[in-house]
Chain A
Amino acid sequence: QVQLQESGPGLVKPSETLSLTCTVSGGSISSGSYYWSWIRQPAGKGLEWIGRIYTSGSTNYNPSLKSRVTISLDTSKNQFSLKLSSVTAADTAVYYCANVYSNFYYYMDVWGKGTTVTVSS
């Protein structure tokens, strides 16, 4: 059973770069049917897709965040990472990683428990 676990600083200063890592266990990040995604949720609000990466390294980002987002993959560690630059208080949220089944059907199959990131000086 695949499991995902987010990790990274819980507090980031405004204008700095938010960096999170998602560690995948119980399965390979190189699995062909899955993309690997980041999603966030501000407190009390809905879900926002940030971006995804495939095992090949190809990426897709939400246009609303594209200029500030980088998602990368480390297959040797079975991890993928998120970097969000020039953060503001509006980036304060719970950040989730998820694997995204992408073969005829498209859905977020397994989610990490989430990690809270607060942007504050």
Chain B
Amino acid sequence: DIVLTQSPGTLSLSPGDRATLSCRASQTISYNYLAWYQQKPGQAPRLLIYGASSRATGIPDRFSGSASGTDFTLTISRLEPEDFAVYYCQQYGSSPMYSFGQGTKLEIK
């Protein structure tokens, strides 16, 4: 099974800061198969990034994704108040067919 490990578990930053969230896969996965989601309290997850680096429709360009080997990164260039939420990475491919990282909580410092 491929395990996605996200770090840090919690990230405390201020509006205007740059956020860097990490997702490491336990095995090589295709970059096409990695997505990022944002979830706010009481809401469903929302797709941010697919294919490791492609922004979903309507997602601001302050959100970007990158990949290197088994390491995937979500960067928020300048945090807005509405960006404080939990972020999940997700992979497609191995058993189970889809799996998620455990999440990174981005909180206001």
Q: Which residues of A contact B (CB under 8 A)?
A: 37, 46-49, 52, 60, 62-64, 96, 100-101, 104-114
Contacts and interface: CB of A to CB of B under 8 A. Distances in A.
A104 B32 contact: yes
Chain A residues touching B, majority SS: strand
Given A46-B102, A106-B33, A112 B44 contact: yes
Interface stretch (B14-22, B68-76, B77-85, B88-96): B88-96
Contact of B97 (A62, A104, A109): A62
A25 B46 CA distance: 18
Interface of B: 32-33, 35, 37, 43-47, 50-51, 54, 56, 88, 90, 92-93, 95-103
Given A49-B99, A49-B100, A101-B50, A106 B45 contact: no
Nearest to B57: A109
Nearest to A110: B47
B96 A106 contact: no
A108 B99 contact: no
